[in-house]
Amino acid sequence: MNFLRLPDPLLSILFEDDDIIAIDKCYGFNAHTNDSKIEHSTAIQDGLIEIFEKQLNRKLHIIHRLDQTTTGVMIFGKSVQSAKKYAEYFFNRQVFKTYWFITKSKSKKDSFYIDKTIIHKGKELEASTDLVFSKKRSHFELWIAKPHTGRNHQIRIHAKQAEIPILGDSLYEGAGYPFLCLHNRSIEFPNGTIIESKPPIYFENLEILEDSQLARVFFEWDRRMRLFSNADRHQCFRLANVLDEKNKLDYSIDKYGDILVLNWFKDNWDQEKLKRFTRLSEIYNKPLVINLNGANKQQLCINIKIPSIENEAREGNIQFALTLNEKIIPTVHLNQRLQRNWILKNTDAKNVLILFAGYSSAALSSVSGNANQVTIVENNQKQLKIAKINFDLNALDTRNTKFLCRDSPHFIEQSVSKNIKYDLIICDIPSFYRREKSVFKIENDLTDFLNNCVQCLSPNGEILFSTIAENIRIGDIHTILTTIQKKNPRIKLGVNCILPSLDFELPNETAQLKSFLITTVRISTLTRS
């Protein structure tokens, strides 16, 4: 099984010239793949250089590194020669670097010059750093660090030696906090190139840090916005994805154009949380919709009047309705954002079947991608009506689009019996649902369902399927496809596990959405040796 990272049209670059690209590194990413962990993981541990190489479809070269927990400016070379040139700038100490960090310790002075060696891999290395006080609010102080050398963990070690350890840096005696607060603010090269990165909002507004749960929300927000800083304001993506059983937190925040949608999944909502998220809405000046999904379901609206909301939530140029029956109801699921972009780029002149279509967002991408024929199958009449609203919103021609209120497993069975073929079959398969005379359960029925899909593919056809079913794992899909392969000896199956978009899970986190691209090749068309 291959692991596939789909291109992300929102992924942003901070700076680029003929020699280098600079990215605004977000928290939680390594500079490159940690090879030592690959064999012990079920997912590819992509580092930032691998992510951007796949995005840009070109080779990049490491020039310098930032710790996984450091944010800000990071540089890659576009060629071996440019990487060597800029690496020499660092080696010859011709690069002026400015970092910001936060401490909870009360400083004894307003500046320090630390000139103490650092031991790394058994070697004693000279290291020096200037530390300058910037400002103080409540229990927190903001400091500026200017390292004159580039040793591993240099600023963190020297901050500890100055008795102002970095907030959240448990390794070097920093005060406990959900995350470490160190940011690479700017880099200046001797050729005159200066690259700057805006710090997280809690570096500029230290009061936010007094409420660690509120700061956690801003931290999650910052991680996504560094990835997608160049996205226009109408685009949609996830801003926070928090599952923390220890603190009884389970929520997400999605950005739909200018509107924020908070989905809260626990039964512990209270006035303190309302106050916290209202402050988030006020600081960013964004309308906030709160969906409480516990026992008492309700929708709260902060700084928003529903009748005045315009449908300006977009994915690329595709528009989605937001308001239905006086409620904010986004009609697109963001966890398949990259899959829809792939559909848009890969459906030209194809005959596409969409099963378990839901709001039919995949159909919008298919028609926008100039598919020859699109068949939408969904057994929920209300969702089909919403699909038609979105088609009207985008002024799409539906003459070659069929909207069918049918049972998806039954429809694909009929397609097999009628020998109907499709170039691409797309399906978002539920864990279970009640059929007319039975119950569909993914653990029992997935093999037959996918086998029917395979039999309905035209030569070299493909299946794009996804599920959030917790009881289906990557290994299960491999077993199922092995079984299907034996049933269809004249078709060679290939499977690609699609990695989650970076606004959902980090490369080392388990993805909630399991998504796969299944390819087929007829044996008769294979080159024989």
The reply to whether 323 and 338 lie within a common domain is no
Please report which helix (H) or strand (E) contains residue 21, including its range.
Answer: strand 20-25
From residue 81, how far is each of 20, 61, 526 by CA, in Å? Answer: 11, 10, 42
The reply to whether 174 and 314 lie within a common domain is no
The reply to whether 285 and 321 lie within a common domain is yes
- Domain span at residue 243 reads 232-328
Could you tell me if residue 219 is inside a domain? Answer: no
Q: What is the pLDDT of residue 42?
A: 47
Distance CA 436, CA 464 (A): 26
Q: For residue 442, give both structure tokens.
A: 């993914």
The reply to whether 116 and 142 lie within a common domain is yes
The reply to whether 380 and 313 lie within a common domain is no
Angle at 184 between CA 132 and CA 227, to 5 degrees: 150
Could you tell me if residue 338 is inside a domain? Answer: yes
Q: What is the pLDDT of residue 312?
A: 67
Could you tell me if residue 227 is inside a domain? Answer: no
Strand partners, 496: 2, 517
Strand partners, 131: 112, 145
The reply to whether 131 and 27 lie within a common domain is yes
Closest listed residue to residue 267, CA positions, set 298, 296, 243 = 296
pLDDT digits (tens, 9 = 90+) for 93-116: 999 999 999 999 999 899 999 999
Could you tell me if residue 236 is inside a domain? Answer: yes
CATH of the domain at 108: 3.30.2350.10
Please report which helix (H) or strand (E) contains residue 385, including its range.
Answer: helix 381-393
Strand partners, 428: 466
CATH of the domain at 298: 3.30.750
The reply to whether 55 and 202 lie within a common domain is yes
Could you tell me if residue 223 is inside a domain? Answer: no
Residue that terminates a domain, selected from 285, 305, 328? 328
Distance CA 295, CA 299 (A): 13
Following DSSP, what letter does each residue of 187-204 receive, concatenated? EE-TTS-EEE-PPPHHHH
Q: What is the pLDDT of residue 86?
A: 96
Question: Using CB atoms within 10 A of its CB, is residue 523 exposed (0-12), middle (13-18) or buried (19+)?
Answer: exposed
pTM for this prediction: 0.92
Q: Kindly state the DSSP code that residue 39 receives in the 8-state scheme.
A: T
Is residue 67 within 8 Å of 73, Cβ to Cβ? Answer: no
Distance CA 244, CA 238 (A): 17
The reply to whether 340 and 323 lie within a common domain is no
pLDDT digits (tens, 9 = 90+) for 418-475: 999 999 999 999 999 998 889 999 999 999 999 999 999 999 999 999 999 998 988 8
Following DSSP, what letter does each residue of 190-256 receive, concatenated? TTS-EEE-PPPHHHH-GGGGGSHHHHHHHHHHHHHHHHTTTS-TTBEEEEEEEEETTTTEEEEEEEE
Q: What is the pLDDT of residue 309?
A: 52
Distance CA 296, CA 292 (A): 7
Residue that terminates a domain, selected from 264, 294, 328? 328
Q: What is the pLDDT of residue 507?
A: 73
The reply to whether 32 and 103 lie within a common domain is yes
Q: What is the pLDDT of residue 325?
A: 62
Domain count for the chain, please give it.
3
Residue that terminates a domain, selected from 174, 209, 244? 209
Could you tell me if residue 224 is inside a domain? Answer: no
Q: What is the pLDDT of residue 506?
A: 78
The reply to whether 305 and 339 lie within a common domain is no
Is residue 428 within 8 Å of 465, Cβ to Cβ? Answer: yes
Q: What is the pLDDT of residue 474?
A: 87
Distance CA 123, CA 75 (A): 26
Is residue 481 within 8 Å of 514, Cβ to Cβ? Answer: no
CA atoms within 13 A on the CB side of 179: 28
Positions of the chain with pLDDT under 70: 34-45, 305-312, 324-326, 524-529
Question: Using CB atoms within 10 A of its CB, is residue 349 exposed (0-12), middle (13-18) or buried (19+)?
Answer: exposed
Could you tell me if residue 286 is inside a domain? Answer: yes
Could you tell me if residue 216 is inside a domain? Answer: no
Q: For residue 45, give both structure tokens.
A: 């541990």
The reply to whether 314 and 353 lie within a common domain is no
Q: What is the pLDDT of residue 311?
A: 55
Is residue 104 within 8 Å of 98, Cβ to Cβ? Answer: no
Sign of the CA dihedral with 273 first, then 279, 280, and 282 last: positive
Q: What is the pLDDT of residue 310?
A: 55
Distance CA 138, CA 213 (A): 17
The reply to whether 314 and 392 lie within a common domain is no
